[in-house]
């Protein structure tokens, strides 16, 4: 594959949401895409059956990957290194999910798996694939979130994983600039993906945790409201990701959607303690 002149992309989490939509758009623009998903080639061909009928089968390749398992992640890295040995133009760390609910009721295993998928997997993919990215003077796009710079109750663990992504993105921005490797954290607000469906809630399996039961019910109502009334067409984010794939220069952070921009402005113009007091009142009064 080293002789292929198409731009090459490795993207995680292509089975649904932003990853699925971005992969479709990349194929329409004649990129060579290697996608990571659970179930690998058989599941990938099923999900992208329509696209596979239209394109050269060598334009979309699949790797069976469980990002929260070290052995699987290492296998994925080996496969990508072989398939894209000529270099990687774009690495898109898209895969992730939300562990939601009160931190107290989340099990240690759940928290560790959250960080394995949302933080450690992207970090080690970047580390191991950087020689191939540097070969093409490529770029890295990390899917973050508005909770990567702001914090909401019951989003604590998920938010922490995205704050970590924000930190390594900025650090790598400084470290890689002399090699002409660009990196960007994408911070979407509320968009209709399978996030709510793929999110996991901490378990109310101890009697003392029942103190959260009423608030969790209100929280679930809030999530349903967000899904029905607030979340917007994910194509908006998809188009922004494609823009970042094709732009000559990219910023270290990009916010997408009203909620992301509003929360960013609020955090910048308002004294921290005042903002926290106001948010605490809002959460308790209307949401939780």
Please indicate whether residue 159 is annotated as part of the active site: no
Considering the candidates 31, 97, 159, 162, report the single residue annotated as catalytic. 162
Please indicate whether residue 212 is annotated as part of the active site: no
Q: Phi and psi dihedrals of 274, rounded to 5?
A: -65, -45
Strand partners, 186: 143, 254
Query: What angle separates helix 17-28 from helix 235-246, to the nearest 10 degrees?
Result: 50
- Residue 200 and residue 100 in contact, taking contact as beta carbons nearer than 8 Å: yes
Return the C-alpha torsion angle 152, 158, 159, 162, nearest 10.
-150
Q: Phi and psi dihedrals of 194, rounded to 5?
A: -95, 25
| C-alpha 286, offset from chain centre | 28
Considering the candidates 20, 31, 97, 144, report the single residue annotated as catalytic. 144
What would the two tokens of residue 93 be?
């760390």
Considering the candidates 97, 155, 158, 173, report the single residue annotated as catalytic. 158
Dist. CA 184–CA 238, nearest whole Å: 15
Please indicate whether residue 145 is annotated as part of the active site: no
Dist. CA 256–CA 259, nearest whole Å: 8
Catalytic residues: 144, 158, 162
């Amino acid at each position: 594959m080293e002789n292929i002149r198409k731009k090459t992309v490795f993207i995680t989490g292509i089975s649904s949401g932003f990853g699925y939509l971005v992969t479709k758009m990349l194929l329409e623009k004649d990129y060579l895409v290697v996608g990571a998903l659970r179930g690998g080639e058989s599941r990938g061909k099923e999900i992208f059956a329509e696209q596979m009928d239209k394109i050269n089968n060598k334009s979309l390749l699949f790797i069976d990957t469980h990002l929260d398992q070290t052995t699987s992640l290492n296998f994925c890295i080996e496969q990508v290194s072989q398939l894209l040995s000529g270099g990687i133009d774009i690495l898109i760390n898209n895969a992730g999910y939300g562990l939601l609910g009160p931190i107290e009721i989340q099990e240690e295993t759940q928290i560790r798996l959250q960080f394995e998928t949302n933080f450690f997997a992207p970090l080690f993919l970047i580390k191991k694939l950087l020689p191939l990215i540097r070969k093409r003077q490529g770029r890295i796009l990390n899917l973050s979130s508005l909770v990567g710079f702001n914090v909401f109750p019951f989003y604590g663990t998920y938010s922490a994983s995205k704050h970590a992504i924000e930190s390594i993105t900025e650090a790598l921005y400084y470290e890689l600039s002399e090699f002409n490797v660009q990196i960007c954290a994408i911070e979407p607000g509320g968009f209709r993906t399978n996030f709510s469906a793929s999110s996991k809630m901490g378990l109310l399996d101890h009697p003392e945790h029942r103190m959260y039961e009423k608030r969790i019910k209100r929280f679930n109502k809030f999530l349903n409201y967000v899904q029905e009334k607030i979340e917007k067409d994910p194509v908006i984010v998809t188009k922004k990701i494609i823009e970042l794939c094709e732009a000559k220069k990219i910023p270290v952070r990009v916010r997408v959607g009203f909620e992301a921009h509003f929360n960013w402005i609020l955090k910048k113009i308002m004294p921290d303690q005042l903002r926290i007091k106001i948010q605490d009142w809002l959460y308790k009064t209307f949401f939780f």
